[in-house]
Chains A and B, each alone.
Chain A
């Protein structure tokens, strides 16, 4: 080729400027290509759909009302009509034992529990509660923590000090004990609780959701605040200020889009954590209250039957395991997709 100028002219003609692509699109494509994460997402979606379809299953497939004890009921096993509570079953052959798994989807698929209710239907209904509370509290927690982190990080100074100190104090509490304390106070006083004109029914699912959301706010707040602080002094924020942006616009149009990836990476992990916390609280009796069921309460119910009818205990725990596992794998995949540098570093 001839002179440098001619070279540059040829290059710019042959290779026009490439239009910038949205980084979110890149991240989404990286995630899509991650087969394992996609499989985990599929598993999670399947579980959610199954649990949402609980009323469908209970009414149309199994024809039971899983909330009503069925001590004197009968069901069909291998074509024969048998009572749901059988005399002298189990290892010791004493007393009454509910029937075990029949592996027949329309008749007590996983057997019955100690009051004759269909375990499979209860499992799906329990999944509804657990997933609702898990996802709801994770979303509420992330929202609140992000807002507080944005305000604290943006305004800095006294606001930041106060917010961070309050978060430190909440976090200094053993998380689980705090949830137990609040749960005991609010949930086990059967007259519900009165806050001015607002009366909250103690069996409402809102109470566990809000309790769990509250105790994890500091956990999300810390990384969010770190991200906000690292963005707030950047030049583009200064440029936007110079252009006359008000504070609200600065926070939501300049800073928020740059910190939201932290929340997205944290979200599957938070949902996994909240599901585990909810199941533990329900197991202890300070989470979901009867007549509602959740996977945790089912495990507690199965404690008496653990030697004779183990599936009453195994099934809900297995569901929790699969749900949390899929969320963890998905979370790893999302983190790798949004921060490819981390992945490259790990590959070494």
Chain B
């Protein structure tokens, strides 16, 4: 077990290193693009360009350039955004994290509860008209682009039906920190939570249902039925546990991906200033330092959570350790 953990963590460090190298090459070594000009944002003057070149040691050998950039991102954390008046990007990323975490945590709670409900309902109602009906609704949830659903939700809640009792409580688009006003924090996040979870409820509902039904043919289920246990109890106490393994591992990966910036689309549509929104702003302004910082920190988070999920998985199921 210990060797597995050590090997897995070493692999994680290696992947992180490769990610930083790849991002660096992507932004600094694309053929035909001058990195100083690209970093400086729009219409730079020669003074800024020279300053950038000096600060980042551009023009020096590759490993030194790489080393300086990595030092700026991780150690001294003073990587500065040139197109955004010298704002320190790493600090910005950290400041934007609470918004993203609020969004993703809330959505995650919602979708786990609903997906389990949907999966169980579909499995229980198998054979009736409700099973395919639920699955079709789940499929529609998976098929709709999340940013479009967000736009429609905005359109209805902020525009068309804003004055009715249904949506008059919806605050203007944006994020209020919990410490500032819990009520507003909650009200401003309800619709984004629902929008973000629709996609995942559909997906996880289908996965859970497929798993539940697949497990029905296992021998231990047959034993349980032979013992006279009711169908509902068999479903909830025996098959659900096994099915949750896949569910949980998929959940861990999706959650990590969302926090790392995958919630970008929802954040942009609802005006929530999280990590994803920061990335998008960086895109709009071609602010390379911001994009680099968010990508690297995001990728690190995902790789770390992947490693934790793998280790947890190996701990739970000894059969898969030797990999």
Which residues of A are in contact with B by a Cβ distance under 8 Å? 91, 168-169, 172-177, 180-182, 184-186, 188-189, 191-196, 272, 276, 279-280, 283-286, 296, 299, 302-303, 306-307, 310, 313-314, 316-317, 320-321, 324-325, 328-329, 345-346, 348
State whether A345 touches B306 (Cβ < 8 A). Answer: no
A177 and B260 alpha carbons, distance in the complex (Å): 9
- Choose one: B31, B147, B160, B214; the contact of A195 (CB below 8 Å): B31
With A189-B33, A306-B151 already in contact, the answer to whether A174 and B298 are too (CB < 8 A) is yes
A279 and B146 alpha carbons, distance in the complex (Å): 10
B interface bracket (residues with beta carbon within 8 Å of A) = 35 or more
B197: Cβ under 8 A from any A Cβ: no
- Choose one: A181, A196, A280, A310; the contact of B295 (CB below 8 Å): A181
Within 8 A of A (CB), among B141-170: 142-149, 151-152, 154-155, 158-160
Residue of A nearest to B280 (CB): A284
Write the nearest CB–CB distance from A63 to chain B, whole angstroms.
Answer: 29
Within 8 A of A (CB), among B232-264: 257, 260-262, 264
State whether A184 touches B147 (Cβ < 8 A). Answer: no
Given contacts A174-B262, A303-B151, 11 further A-B contacts (CB under 8 A): A173-B19, A174-B295, A177-B279, A184-B283, A194-B31, A285-B284, A306-B155, A320-B144, A321-B145, A324-B142, A345-B214
B71: Cβ under 8 A from any A Cβ: no
- Choose one: B33, B214, B261; the contact of A176 (CB below 8 Å): B261
List, in ascending order, chain A residues with CB within 8 A of B147's CB: 280, 283, 299
A-B contacts, 20 listed (Cβ < 8 Å): A182-B26, A192-B32, A193-B33, A195-B31, A195-B32, A276-B145, A279-B148, A280-B147, A280-B265, A284-B265, A284-B283, A303-B151, A306-B151, A306-B155, A307-B155, A313-B148, A313-B151, A320-B144, A324-B143, A348-B213
Write the nearest CB–CB distance from A324 to chain B, whole angstroms.
Answer: 4
List, in ascending order, chain A residues with CB within 8 A of B298's CB: 174, 177
State whether A321 touches B151 (Cβ < 8 A). Answer: no
Within 8 A of A (CB), among B189-218: 210, 213-214, 216-217
B302: Cβ under 8 A from any A Cβ: yes
List, in ascending order, chain A residues with CB within 8 A of B19's CB: 169, 172-173
State whether A348 touches B217 (Cβ < 8 A). Answer: yes
State whether A176 touches B262 (Cβ < 8 A). Answer: yes
With A174-B257, A176-B262, A284-B268 already in contact, the answer to whether A310 and B299 are too (CB < 8 A) is no
- Choose one: B31, B139, B262, B280; the contact of A325 (CB below 8 Å): B139
State whether A180 touches B283 (Cβ < 8 A). Answer: yes
Which residues of B are in contact with A by a Cβ distance under 8 Å? 15, 18-19, 22-23, 26-27, 30-33, 38, 126, 139-140, 142-149, 151-152, 154-155, 158-160, 210, 213-214, 216-217, 257, 260-262, 264-265, 268, 279-280, 283-284, 286, 291, 294-295, 298-299, 302-303, 306
Of the candidates B139, B148, B216, the one having the most CB atoms from chain A within 10 angstroms of its own CB is B148
State whether B30 touches A174 (Cβ < 8 A). Answer: no
- Choose one: B142, B286, B295; the contact of A328 (CB below 8 Å): B142
Of the candidates B146, B151, B159, the one having the most CB atoms from chain A within 10 angstroms of its own CB is B151
Write the nearest CB–CB distance from B57 to chain A, whole angstroms.
Answer: 21
A346 and B214 alpha carbons, distance in the complex (Å): 6
State whether B299 touches A177 (Cβ < 8 A). Answer: yes
Write the nearest CB–CB distance from B104 to chain A, whole angstroms.
Answer: 13
Residue of B nearest to A175 (CB): B257
State whether B302 touches A174 (Cβ < 8 A). Answer: yes
State whether A346 touches B139 (Cβ < 8 A). Answer: no
State whether B152 touches A317 (Cβ < 8 A). Answer: yes
A96 and B225 alpha carbons, distance in the complex (Å): 69
With A185-B33, A346-B214 already in contact, the answer to whether A279 and B284 are too (CB < 8 A) is no
Write the nearest CB–CB distance from A242 to chain B, whole angstroms.
Answer: 32
State whether A174 touches B32 (Cβ < 8 A). Answer: no
With A306-B159, A328-B143, A345-B213 already in contact, the answer to whether A174 and B299 are too (CB < 8 A) is yes
Write the nearest CB–CB distance from A23 to chain B, whole angstroms.
Answer: 23
State whether B159 touches A172 (Cβ < 8 A). Answer: no
Residue of A nearest to B151 (CB): A313
- Choose one: B15, B27, B151; the contact of A168 (CB below 8 Å): B15
List, in ascending order, chain B residues with CB within 8 A of A168's CB: 15
With A181-B26, A193-B31 already in contact, the answer to whether A172 and B299 are too (CB < 8 A) is yes
Of the candidates A185, A192, A194, A314, the one having the most CB atoms from chain B within 10 angstroms of its own CB is A185
Write the nearest CB–CB distance from B204 to chain A, whole angstroms.
Answer: 15
Residue of A nearest to B126 (CB): A348
Write the nearest CB–CB distance from A338 to chain B, whole angstroms.
Answer: 16
